Amino acid sequence: MHTEAQTLGKYGRTRRIFLEQNNSMLFNHMVLTETLFPHLWEVQQTCEKRMELLMANLLVKN
């Protein structure tokens, strides 16, 4: 569930904009079924973890 403490970062907001502009039927369905925010939050967390992994790998290489 969405709480005030959970705010979307760059990746969650980007995904929201992408869905709104490129797949409006899915976006509207997710809004109506209240699955949009959990999806955006999952995208945000996945991207953050991936960026951490990529940055760690870059630091090891350099």
> Is 3 a residue whose pLDDT tops 70?
no
The number of domains in the chain is 1
Whether 3 is in a domain gets the answer no
Give domain status of residue 2, yes or no.
no
In this predicted structure, what is the pLDDT of residue 62? 83
Question: What tens digit of pLDDT does each residue of 4-61 get?
Answer: 457 899 999 999 999 999 999 999 999 999 999 999 999 999 999 999 999 999 999 9
Q: Tell me which residue range forms the domain holding 20.
A: 10-61
Q: Is residue 18 part of a domain?
A: yes
Q: Which of 40, 34, 37 is nearest to 11 (CA)?
A: 40
Farthest-apart Cα atoms in the chain, separation: 47
Residue 33 counted as domain residue: yes
